[in-house]
Amino acid sequence: MDFKLFPKLLTQRHRTCGSRDAKFLRVNISNNNFAPLRLCVIYFAIIIIFFISCKLSEPYRTETALGTACTITLYEYGRAGIYNEVFSRIREIENLMSVNIPASDISRVNLYAGKSYIQVHEDTFKVIDRAIFYACLTYGAFDPTVGPLINLWGIGKGNARIPPRGEIEQVLPLINWSNIVLDFNTNSVFLKQEGMSLDFGGIAKGYAADAAVEVLKKAGINRALINLGGDIFVLGEKPDRSSWRIGIQHPFEERNVTIGYVQLQKDKALVTSGIYERFFEKDEIRYHHIFNPANGYPTNNDFLSVIVIADTAMDADAISTAVFVLGYEKGIELLRVIQNAEAIFVFNDHSIRTTSGVNFTLTDNTFTFKN
């Protein structure tokens, strides 16, 4: 592969109080307009108390979706039901794109592989289109047709095993993003070969995080933290205008044990691909869930994790998976051709490197920061 070739209120009746220069206004409370004003005040007080109680009673909510814990934290008053709206949007995406849901778009496309085009929801179509973009850009290091490999290895599904080499070689020809055909007129998808199957594990959570952000923005919420199992989006600025501090997970410790943190300003996604998410071990070798489509085995390089910061979570998700597969040198090359994408690389010798635009602070002295 030659990676140098990357393609690149209230209206008030008022009178001026005191002298002409007075800078403030006073509400005219003559008898004939006192009643409507009082009603307005009561009305607004009710709304404010309502919003405050919403905020105080439920600053965040966690639910399980997309096979992971998803937490939405609001830093601004949210209307009643906003969490329900966000989570039903996330579930809508799960129902479209999960391979574990037989009626999902993805399951239907897979079922009809080699047989016919299947019309899909525009969300699904957008994700397929973007997945193909990254597959092309990375010469297949990111490949949404890894489904047969995921099934063969069963990692994270309770039936994990090391498949015989012959079985891996048999499915390798099915891992080929260029055999996905899109019909942009009808939002239809066709997989050219029978046995091919799509898997959106490397990109769908990111899309769902972006979709959650859209629901919040439409509801007028400008400050929030979205965390879909580690796919993070920081919406707007924190109330005190300090930067967001996002912890970087320790690869071998329990959840929320961090090795350092990144400071983000606003409207940024941060997504991690790591060997510690889903894996099994045999004879002291770890087999994890990020596959090298070129050989059919879990990607074997010196990464423990790759963290990508980008403008959308869908992009950060695909890029983190891709960079993980590509390795450091080619990964850096890919990040150079993508605008507004930064990364943190955590290596198995416990060294950490970042690209130039990352504000990272190391807090765990068993790791070394090598920039």
Site residues (CB under 5 A) for Mg ion?
202, 317, 320-321
Residue found by looking up tokens 């949007």 in the block: 89
End-to-end alpha-carbon separation of the chain, Å?
A: 27
Tell me if 139 sits within 8 A of 109, measured CB to CB.
no
Q: In the bound complex, which residue of the shown chain has the CB atom lying closest to Mg ion?
A: 321
Tell me if 180 sits within 8 A of 132, measured CB to CB.
yes
Return residues touching ligand ADP (CB under 6 A): 142-144, 146, 150, 199, 201-202, 205, 230, 273, 277-278, 289-291, 293, 317, 320-321, 325
293 binds, among ligand ADP, Mg ion, none (CB under 5 to 8 A by kind): ligand ADP
* Rounded-to-integer distance, Cα 299 and Cα 301, Å: 6
- Choice between 82 and 90, CB closer to Mg ion: 90
291 binds, among Mg ion, ligand ADP, none (CB under 5 to 8 A by kind): ligand ADP
Q: Minimum distance from CB of 49 to ligand ADP (Å)?
A: 40
Q: Minimum distance from CB of 364 to Mg ion (Å)?
A: 24
DSSP codes, 333-359: HHHHHSTT-EEEEEETTSEEEE-TT--
- Choice between 54 and 212, CB closer to Mg ion: 212
CA distances from 41 to 34, 53, 76, 142, 168 (A): 11, 18, 22, 57, 70
Strand, coil or helix: 318? helix
- Choice between 221 and 231, CB closer to ligand ADP: 231
- Choice between 123 and 143, CB closer to ligand ADP: 143
Q: Minimum distance from CB of 207 to ligand ADP (Å)?
A: 11
* Rounded-to-integer distance, Cα 258 and Cα 336, Å: 27
- Choice between 144 and 202, CB closer to Mg ion: 202
Tell me if 272 sits within 8 A of 305, measured CB to CB.
yes
- Choice between 78 and 296, CB closer to ligand ADP: 296
Q: Minimum distance from CB of 208 to ligand ADP (Å)?
A: 11
143 binds, among Mg ion, ligand ADP, none (CB under 5 to 8 A by kind): ligand ADP
Q: In the bound complex, which residue of the shown chain has the CB atom lying closest to ligand ADP?
A: 201
Q: Minimum distance from CB of 199 to ligand ADP (Å)?
A: 5
Strand, coil or helix: 80? coil
- Choice between 74 and 208, CB closer to Mg ion: 208
Contacts of residue 152, Cβ cutoff 8 Å, sequence gap at least 6: 163, 167, 168, 171, 296
Q: Minimum distance from CB of 298 to Mg ion (Å)?
A: 15
Amino acid at 99: V
177 binds, among ligand ADP, Mg ion, none (CB under 5 to 8 A by kind): none
